[in-house]
Structure 1
Amino acid sequence: MHRVEHVMGFPVSLRVDDEHIPESAADAVFAWLHEVDVRFSPFRPDSEVSRLDRGELSPGDLSADLREVLDLCEHYRAATGGAFDVRLPGRGLDPCAVVKGWSVQRAAELLTAAGATRFCLNAGGDVVAAGGPWRVGVRHPEHADKLCTVLEVTDGAVATSARYERGDHIIDGRTGRPATGLLSLTVVAPTLTEADSVATAAFAMGAEGVEWAAGQPGCEVLAVDAERRVLRTPGFPVAGEDAAAA
């Protein structure tokens, strides 16, 4: 099974190698992601996030899903000393940095519940994989046609935060200025909730975020700093020759 749809502003591709998995499993994955876009997008005036930001909802009115997302946001705000913050002064509430990984991880769990054991779900370059090994390329931060490396993932997730797609869009909440200490930072973790959140939070911290990310449980890190030095934790899973292509 292979399907691609545009959701939440980026392409999402799904490949399932289990022959017995019905198309309805893929339908459920993309229905969930479209639901998340409607409910949590800060760019939709009728979303739950926008209504909360305008003060139309009290904490007791929030869905369990949004409470979970906001709890994750607060966890990473506190863990980074405020560098990662979804409530920046002068800006509306924007939990997208957590919502993306959290929602795609939930989608992967829907596949697992449907009986899928070998699949790759790629959401705008952030990947959840199961039943590998799968080969996942990490884009070079300055050359779109080149890779920094290729890594191997069996069961887990990969996420990259960088400046190459959207410029200096990640803000250091401690200063209110764009985070410019890194060119890119890739995290491999057990779930995409962790990988995506840690990658964004660490990038917001700048150069000091590399060591912080490496210290998070279950996380392996590859970073390119502003001086173009490549930093990599010992356990970062560089691919061998015989992994399947993702």
Structure 2
Amino acid sequence: MGTVVSIELADDQPPEQLRDMIAEVCDWLHEVDRRFSTYKAESEVCRLQRGEITLAGCSPDMRHVLDVCADLWRDTDGYFDAYAGGSLDPSGYVKGWSVEVASARLADAGSTRHYINAGGDIRMRGGNPDGEPWRVGIRHPWEADKISWVLAVTEGAVATSGTYERGHHVVNPRTGKPARGLRSVTVVGPDLSMADAYATAALAMGEAGISWLAQRAADGYQSAVVTDDGRAFSSANLPAAV
């Protein structure tokens, strides 16, 4: 998926069992990359885009992803759009979803305390190795050696979308041009797939995304935003570390 994934298990289990858990997670993430990549010609996404397979012939996972992307398109007034770039690209949902599934698989295998970070999309369960909440630093959007917020999360997800590493890569579907107005968007909530999608949608909205994110707090999603001109906003219940 064009990023590095780190996995930390804090469970008190035999090392060989923990290694097996990590291997299974890595196998799943590589499978997602093979099937949903927009760069690999034989991926399921690319084959669907070229018309070599129909939606009915796609895997259940692909149909699930496209169904959720359609729901997100409606829920975000079109700002989350898997076709914003002109061709099918569900990456704004897939990365968070794949890590959410990976975390659920670890839980099913008996892990109650773990941390998965896929390029800034993070899912945590239980406490860290010291029994404390996991601490997550949100990078300062201009100064790479500094942080804007430190979050303390025991159970939940953190997703950040910004322009400071990949430039203005998120397209505003209304204009067809790169979105402007927000430099960094972080969303914290119970489900990483939705947190990731909400962060992407808000970035596409520009400054209007600040008030849109505020409404997501009712569903348990808190947010922290930095605008292009350096203003910072955060929701009232953002789990900032003391």
Paired with 2:190 and 2:53, the residues of 1 have a C-alpha distance of: 33
State the 1:54 CA deviation: 0.5
Task: Give CA-to-partner distance per residue, 1:53-112, whole Å, 9 cap, x none.
Answer: 0111112111110111111211221222222211136x3211111100000100001110
1:239 pairs, out of 206, 231, 241, with 241
State the 1:24 CA deviation: 1.0
Task: Give CA-to-partner distance per residue, 1:149-194, whole Å, 9 cap, x none.
Answer: 1011010000001001100000011110111110101000101111
Q: Show the 5 A alignment for 1:100-111.
A: 100-111=95-106
What is the match of residue 193 of structure 1?
193
1:222 pairs, out of 220, 224, 227, with 224
Give the aligned residue type for 1:194: M
Task: Give CA-to-partner distance per residue, 1:32-53, whole Å, 9 cap, x none.
Answer: 0000000110111101100110
Paired with 2:119 and 2:82, the residues of 1 have a C-alpha distance of: 20
1:33 partnered with 2:29: yes
CA contact (8 A) 1:183 1:226 kept: yes
Question: Which stretches in structure 2 are left out of the alignment for 5+ residues?
Answer: 128-132
TM-score normalized by structure 1? Answer: 0.92
1:88 partnered with 2:84: yes
What is the match of residue 3 of structure 1?
none
4+ residue stretches of structure 1 with deviation over 3 A? none
CA contact (8 A) 1:161 1:186 kept: yes
Paired with 1:84 and 1:191, the residues of 2 have a C-alpha distance of: 17
1:19 partnered with 2:12: yes
Count of residues in correspondence between the two structures: 232
Structure ranking higher in helix proportion: 2
What is the match of residue 208 of structure 1?
208
What is the match of residue 69 of structure 1?
65
Paired with 2:69 and 2:186, the residues of 1 have a C-alpha distance of: 19
What is the match of residue 114 of structure 1?
109
2:93 pairs, out of 78, 88, 98, with 98
- Identical columns (%): 48
1:123 pairs, out of 101, 118, 126, with 118
What is the match of residue 49 of structure 1?
45
State the 1:9 CA deviation: 1.3
